[in-house]
Amino acid sequence: MYTSSREGTDSFFEAIYTQRAIRRFKPDPVPDDLLLRVLEAATKAPSGSNQQPWRFLVVRDAAKRKAMSEALKAHLQSNEAMRTYFESGAQSDDRSKRLMLTGALELAYHIDAAPAVIIPCLTSGSDRLLGGSSIYPAVQNLLLAARALGLGTVLTTFNMGIDGMLRELLGIPEAARPVALIPIGYPDGNFGPTRRKPVEEVVGWDGWD
């Protein structure tokens, strides 16, 4: 229905249907006003009791991005299970899985290739599912707004492996919790249709079956 493209779009449904993981970026910096639009869209999301328990850290500084990249690389190199997962995936017969995992590994090794990295942090709430439910809607708004503006993103959980380092580098207080690490930039590749289960397969009308 929608074709591949690198352009932004004003069509709500085109943005949703073509918002795919972008793991390669052009080095061009993203103007702050564009980043702010993306972040403002994030802040329009709902949250429990409208508490808006979030703070979005935007890392543009090259030295800080480099430091994150080095830390991630060291984490991956020292984490055998994770390395094996990525490397075995790269041998997969499933082309889409192979591309996803080789792309993810390359991104993990070169996160600083993105001109900016956004780290959404949960500022209050439980550690459990409920806490996440008050920030991930904002994260999804962020991904879609970026897509609409022609900016590529991918939600990663790379933050988990370098949590201590990130806290120190960015001054994140103990009470706050990074929930994702999202590189953002002009895509070096196309947006386009994503592969998902057919909707009929995942919907139960008036009950489970």
CA distance 155 to 78: 23
Please, what is the minimum distance in Å from the beta carbon of residue 151 to ligand FMN?
A: 15
17 and 193 Cβ atoms separated by less than 8 Å? yes
Residue carrying structure tokens 């352009």: 7
Decide if residue 170 touches ligand FMN (CB under 6 A): no
Nearest residue (beta carbon) to ligand FMN: 104
Interface pick for ligand FMN out of 156, 162, 184, 187 (rule CB under 6 A)? 156
> How far is CA 120 from each of CA 3, 133, 142, 149, 202, rounded to the nearest angstrom?
30, 13, 10, 19, 29
User: Shortest Cβ distance from residue 206 to ligand FMN (Å)?
Assistant: 29
Instruction: Pick one of 118, 154, 162, 179: the residue that binds ligand FMN (CB under 6 A).
Output: 154
Residue 125 token pair = 């709430």
Site for ligand FMN contains 111 (CB under 6 A): no
Binding mask 9-48 for ligand FMN (x = CB under 6 A): -----------xx-x-------------------------
Interface with ligand FMN includes 58 (CB under 6 A)?
Answer: no
Name the E strands within the chain: 54-59, 116-122, 152-153, 177-178, 182-185
Report if residue 4 touches ligand FMN, rule: CB under 6 A: no
In angstroms, the CA 142 to CA 41 distance is: 6
Half-sphere exposure of 174 (CA within 13 A, CB side): 0
Minimum gap (Å) between residue 44 Cβ and ligand FMN: 20
* Residues lying near ligand FMN in the complex (CB under 6 A): 20-21, 23, 100, 104, 107, 154-158, 194-195
